[in-house]
Structure 1
Amino acid sequence: MADRLIATLGGYGEVGATAVRRLVESGYDRIRVGGRNPDRGRARFADLHGIEPSYVDLSDRESLDEFCAGADLVLNCAGPSYRILDVVARAALRAGAHYVDVAGDVPARRALGSTFGDRAAVFSAGLMPGLTGLLPRLIAGPGDRLEINVGGAVRMTPASAADILLAQGPDFGESLARWRGGAMVSRALSPRRGIRLPGFPEPVDAMPFLPTESVRLAAELCVEELSFYTAYASEAIPTALAMAWADDPEYRDDHAEMLIQAAASDLRERDPYYILTARTETSSVTLRTGDPYQLSGVVAALTTDAALRGKISPGAHFADSVLDPAETAEALRHDPLVHSLTLHAPISSVVDH
């Protein structure tokens, strides 16, 4: 695969830089890394061979087309994703390249459409969304009652804060909802305060929010019930979010900084941790990491490799629907960023509803 050219946007950040390094470790030695400051890329990847730092302006179609020209695959790790939407994907399409987006949920996928020539376009190739839809496929099936918990205490990047603040409305999910009997049921769940969730090192506040990814997952797997909770180590982030969503959108940048500071406050008395658990009445899977951003870069690299190896069919997809769950889990088990990935079946405890 050494002859393949991968053009990576957002490669200077934690997600993109991790993806670049994993791709180099996998044998890819032609990687164009784009941003507004190529000198930053040269410094960041000074220890790697085959890295081509390049200037690119996402708001300039000519600049973006020049960056994507000649690429076999365009990997987008830039954000916030809900402002970029399908801009980079269409540049990849014009270049005749495959496309992988570490984020890019329903709005980006809808903006692009379902066709992508004879190439593959894959959205949501990160941890959440991404692994939150993929790992539950290892344990869940028709008729199961599935519960997913994800969260912990980690730093928050400016791009992540912006994405969280922009991710509102039916395209992204519904608070307090659950899936049951083939349909989404509104206001079916309540927050769970100070609860000890399996796999988490401390009591957390678990807030129910049913993402569109989980709605699609539940329909595809024909599960009887699906509940999804986001776990917080304290009330700092939920309080900051409540203030942001109640305020004028004009002040979104101010609230992004408040979110970043709220996440930092959670880390003053604890080491960073991020946990994803999925469990049915008989089985469970648990992933632990200290950095969800870097781990999203790992998932993006695995998706890129799968696309270049022809494992993903042409057209536009979500990563959790086209990646192989078992192969991905095995790769993650051997990655140093994953503290542990455990699969248990059966388990003695019953899902708490």
Structure 2
Amino acid sequence: MTLVLGVETSCDDTAAGVIRRRPDGACEILADVVWRQYDRHAPYGGVVPEIAARSHVERVDQVIVHALEKSGHIPADLDAVAATAGPGLIGGVMVGLTAAKAIALAHDKPLIPVNHLEGHALSARLTEAAPFPYLLLLISGGHTQLIAVAGVGRYRRLGSTIDDAAGEAFDKTAKLLGLGQPGGPRIESAAVGGRASRFRLPAPLARREGCDFSFSGLKTAVRLAAEEIGTPTGQDVADLAAAFQATAAAHLAARTGRAMDMVEADFGADPRLVVAGGVAANCAIKAALKELADRRGWRLIVPPPKYCTDNGAMIAWAGAERLAAGLVPSLAEALAFAPRARWPLAPPPPGRAHGGGRKGPKA
């Protein structure tokens, strides 16, 4: 048995989880505590990094203590402490990683810095059997990627967004339509009463080869349609939300289908598609991907909604998986590990780096 505490503070959720990894590789989730900050960011229409970091400082100790108490364990019982070390809002990442370093140092426990994207990549294995290899579609507020997962620490990126991430596009479209935040659930709720066929929005990258994504043009098309109406009514907003959601779902499915073509020969008789990240909770997107998987003879695996969004249990599990694979730094190396705003899980395909800047490519 391996007992691991995980701490997650990469964006606006302060989270901690405690999991037990059994000898057969199965996971038992003993505690999963998440404190959300929606009310603090609502007046600004999106996450404010400085407010998020300060909120993490105020809450991280309480959340960790609550998770340990809920699990029935104390720090001395732990086999390791894992924490998100990037990518994310640097102020928030610093808070969680520093708290984890303090616990590991005080109790002489191994410290495992975890890539937040790896937490999502392995989250399907929290609740069900998801043997390697599998194709991962990671869709969240800051990331949209297709990755071939061969094992823990063994990732090959096939495609990624060339502009906005899927969740970012949902949030910005919700703000544009006056739906508020969090954008994903608000768009999905509004779309229930909408007619997607009313607006013919352009399919992103329809003539472009490969399996990269793009959402900025779709977001702009929604804005132009809204401006043409003038003052959208409630039904107008519902129709626009439905059209945006349907087009985004179709785009994600189409590009995922191209990634399937790239890896299918290497995946054997039981190919698997894992969908993770907060946007994976969207029912319309899950339905489009389920139809794609069924048509292609693939098995679709989607974690329960609570483990699609940011949580401490997935970080603890990623730490446990790394511990089992022997991919753990010494305590001195881990304590010296610096938080990272950018930390790609896998390098982009040759010649297709996106989002470069002074700090390197975006995740």
Higher share of residues assigned strand:
1
Could you say which TM-score interval applies, normalised by the shorter chain? 0.3 to 0.5
Does 1 or 2 have the higher relative contact order (CA < 8 Å, sep 6+)? Answer: 2
